[in-house]
């Protein structure tokens, strides 16, 4: 039997959904914030959405990979952000791409870009479409003839495995589970598990500097890239496979985080891991987040390199069934394919206790959190049509500024929620990744909005959150990427002259400016 198809309005496949228990827990929590939870909109169906006539026609040579099927165009209209979900439930697909192209080889990608450059069609590279920052929506300004979503999931092979160097050559369109399944017979793993793992691709991870499994050291996909290959409108760019180099600025680092605006990542040699055989886990309670943060700073600066070193503030723990709201939960784990990790864990637990942590008798709280984390994306399509404003944003900040930053961000966002909705909401915080010089805090907004005004309410709150992050000294994104949603703050954050350099580089690789216009390098910035 064929698998159910992917939802165009929400997370995952059409036969997947939040369970009654999951929606029940969410309902109880949001009722506590004053939500009525009446269902104001139903799941959209393909038939009820009227799409504009496609403005583009491909030449015969591309017909085999082109689709203007309504479902295909709907699926490629949006990523999985909060406002995109709202608009899906409102049946607003005004920005649907004119066409979806499904190349199955690098030559087909190149042919698509050649045609698009000539036809002045804007091209949006599309992996799993899991963007939560408006990275894949064809919301294109400028004088383009139309928009194309370039779905890369046809490039889905692990092409070559080098067991000796622990690396593999992998096509950019492969999704997480297929990638891991292909590596497993070799005893290897990429061990990159973003929350989107099941519905995102290697090329997407690279293009967005995705953050994954490891809380320390190999936090971003960046350091796992040994070399890469990309098709640009100006030709193919392939870097040399090297374990390290000092020959000029790194070519790979220009494409890491390029968000489809510089080229299409068709292939990469990725550094792999042996599958872990040794493990040590602990869950630790702290009276509050800041005290746990001090323990985390100590462990991070001790050079122990745990695979997991994450913390949830008391409310975040409670909401996810990982606590009663009276303690912050620190999750600590070491893993190794090579050696028992007790010595590492013992020292980390000493540091935890020195900082006032109470090691819990088991790790059930940590497991509850992990399950909630993986299942979280499925809740959105239940919450949104019920008027709940539930979104997340993430950043990074040095330790010296963390406390003031956390206070600033929370208070500004809670004020914005009151201002926008007329009700009190809640802002919770956890750490997703940790560096010796600072954490990557991840904030969740829990608020009750009003269905008719939900988009505007979200925009107000998002604006306040982004302002606070930038004014407080953080980054507009640690691992969600810039997309269209973060552009105004990205422009404020990045050095202006780096913007000039990037614009010039884009013009060299994409002279017609067709690649993901509006992202990273706004059209207005391109040379005339």
Q: Which of residues 180-209 bind a second copy (CB under 8 A)?
A: 208-209
How many C-beta atoms lie closer than 10 Å to residue 114's C-beta?
Answer: 14
Residue 35 touching a second copy (CB under 8 A): no
> Please, what is the minimum distance in Å from the beta carbon of residue 273 to a second copy?
8
Residue 250 touching a second copy (CB under 8 A): yes
| Residues 155-174 as x/- pattern, contact with a second copy by CB under 8 A | -------x-xxxx-------
By CB under 8 A, which span of 58-66, 173-181, 435-443, 457-465 interacts with a second copy?
A: 435-443
Tokens of 157: 């092979």
Number of residues that bind a second copy (CB under 8 A): 95
Partners of 151 in the β-ladder: 126
List all residues 6 or more positions away from 508 whose beta carbon is below 8 Å from its beta carbon.
234
- Among residues 97, 212, 472, 474, the one that binds a second copy under rule CB under 8 A: 474
Q: Strand order in 158-162's β-sheet? A: 158-162, 167-171, 264-271, 225-232, 235-238
Residue 210 touching a second copy (CB under 8 A): yes
Residue placing its CB nearer to a second copy in the complex, 401 or 463: 401
Residue placing its CB nearer to a second copy in the complex, 171 or 227: 227
Count CA within 13 A, CB hemisphere, residue 131. Answer: 33
- Among residues 200, 266, 457, 477, the one that binds a second copy under rule CB under 8 A: 477
Give Cα 174 distance to the centre of its chain.
16
| Residues 299-318 as x/- pattern, contact with a second copy by CB under 8 A | --xxxxx-------------
Contact between 295 and 355 (Cβ < 8 Å) = yes
> Please, what is the minimum distance in Å from the beta carbon of residue 302 to a second copy?
4
Contact between 286 and 327 (Cβ < 8 Å) = yes
- Among residues 186, 213, 275, 347, the one that binds a second copy under rule CB under 8 A: 347
Contact between 126 and 152 (Cβ < 8 Å) = yes
Residue 523 touching a second copy (CB under 8 A): no
Residue placing its CB nearer to a second copy in the complex, 166 or 370: 166
Q: Which of 445, 408, 403, 441 is nearest to 424 (CA)?
A: 445
Residue 353 touching a second copy (CB under 8 A): no
List all residues 6 or more positions away from 230 whose beta carbon is below 8 Å from its beta carbon.
236, 237, 238, 255, 262, 263, 264, 265, 266
CA distances 495 to 259, 386, 466, Å, are 18, 41, 17
Q: Which of 319, 355, 321, 315 is nearest to 332 (CA)?
A: 355
Query: Rounded to an integer, what distance in angstroms lies between the CA atom of residue 361 and that of residue 285?
Result: 10
Residue placing its CB nearer to a second copy in the complex, 102 or 297: 297
Q: Within 484-513, which residues bind a second copy (CB under 8 A)?
A: 486, 490, 493-498, 500-505, 507-509
Residue 339 touching a second copy (CB under 8 A): yes
Residue 246 touching a second copy (CB under 8 A): yes
Contact between 259 and 519 (Cβ < 8 Å) = yes
Residue placing its CB nearer to a second copy in the complex, 180 or 226: 226
Q: Within 220-239, which residues bind a second copy (CB under 8 A)?
A: 220, 226, 232, 234-239
Q: Within 260-289, which residues bind a second copy (CB under 8 A)?
A: 262, 271, 274
Mapped onto helix, strand or coil, the DSSP state of residue 429 is strand
Residue 213 touching a second copy (CB under 8 A): no
| Residues 43-82 as x/- pattern, contact with a second copy by CB under 8 A | ----------------------------------------
Q: Within 361-400, which residues bind a second copy (CB under 8 A)?
A: 396-400
Find the DSSP H helices in 189-312: 202-208, 251-255, 289-301
Q: Within 99-118, which residues bind a second copy (CB under 8 A)?
A: none
How many C-beta atoms lie closer than 10 Å to residue 119's C-beta?
Answer: 17
> Please, what is the minimum distance in Å from the beta carbon of residue 201 to a second copy?
16
Tokens of 503: 């614009």
Burial class (CB in 10 A: 0-12, 13-18, 19+), 201: buried
> Please, what is the minimum distance in Å from the beta carbon of residue 110 to a second copy?
13
> Please, what is the minimum distance in Å from the beta carbon of residue 397 to a second copy?
7
């Amino acid at each position: 039997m064929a698998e159910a198809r992917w939802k165009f309005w929400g997370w995952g496949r059409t036969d997947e959904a939040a369970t009654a228990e999951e929606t029940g827990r969410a309902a109880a929590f949001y009722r506590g914030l004053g939500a009525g939870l009446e269902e104001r909109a139903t799941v959209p169906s393909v038939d009820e959405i009227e799409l504009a006539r496609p403005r583009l026609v491909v030449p015969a040579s591309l017909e085999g990979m082109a689709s203007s099927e309504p479902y295909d165009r709907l699926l490629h209209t949006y990523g999985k952000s909060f406002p995109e979900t709202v608009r899906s439930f409102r049946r607003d697909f005004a920005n649907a791409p004119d066409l979806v192209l499904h190349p199955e080889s690098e030559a087909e990608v190149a042919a698509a870009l050649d045609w698009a450059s000539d036809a002045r069609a804007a091209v949006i590279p599309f992996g799993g479409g899991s963007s939560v920052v408006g990275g894949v929506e064809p919301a294109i300004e400028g004088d383009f003839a139309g928009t194309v979503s370039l779905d890369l999931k046809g490039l889905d092979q692990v092409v070559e495995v080098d067991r000796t160097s622990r690396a593999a050559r992998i096509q950019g369109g492969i999704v997480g589970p297929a990638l891991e399944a292909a590596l497993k017979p070799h005893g290897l793993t990429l061990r990159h598990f973003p929350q989107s793992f099941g519905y995102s691709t290697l090329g997407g991870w690279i293009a967005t500097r995705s953050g994954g499994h490891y809380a320390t050291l190999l936090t971003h996909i960046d350091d796992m890239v040994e070399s890469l290959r990309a098709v640009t409108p100006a030709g193919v760019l392939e870097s040399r496979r090297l374990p390290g180099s000092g020959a000029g600025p790194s070519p790979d680092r220009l494409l890491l985080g390029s968000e489809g605006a510089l080229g299409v990542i068709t292939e990469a040699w990725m550094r792999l891991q042996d599958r872990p055989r040794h493990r040590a886990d602990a869950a630790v309670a702290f009276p509050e987040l800041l005290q746990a943060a001090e323990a985390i700073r100590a462990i991070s600066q001790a050079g122990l390199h745990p695979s997991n070193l994450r913390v949830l503030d008391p409310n975040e723990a409670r909401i996810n069934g990982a606590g009663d709201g009276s303690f912050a939960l620190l999750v600590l784990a070491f893993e190794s394919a090579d050696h028992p990790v007790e010595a590492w864990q013992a020292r980390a637990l000493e540091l935890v206790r020195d900082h006032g942590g109470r090691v819990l008798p088991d790790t059930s709280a940590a497991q509850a959190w992990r399950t909630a984390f993986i299942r979280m994306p499925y809740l959105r399509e239940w919450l949104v049509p019920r008027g709940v404003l539930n979104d997340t944003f993430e950043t990074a900040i040095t330790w010296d500024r963390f406390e003031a930053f956390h206070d600033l961000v929370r208070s500004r966002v809670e004020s914005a929620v009151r201002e926008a909705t007329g009700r009190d909401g809640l802002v919770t915080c956890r750490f997703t990744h940790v560096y010796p010089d600072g954490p990557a805090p991840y904030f969740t907004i829990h608020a009750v909005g009003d269905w008719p005004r939900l988009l505007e309410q979200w925009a107000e709150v998002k604006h306040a959150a982004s302002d606070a992050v930038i004014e407080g000294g953080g980054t507009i994104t640690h691992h969600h990427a810039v997309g269209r949603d973060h552009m105004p703050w990205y422009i404020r954050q990045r050095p202006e002259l780096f913007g000039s350099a990037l614009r010039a580089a884009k013009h060299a690789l994409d002279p017609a400016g067709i690649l993901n216009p509006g992202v990273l390098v706004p059209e207005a910035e391109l040379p005339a």
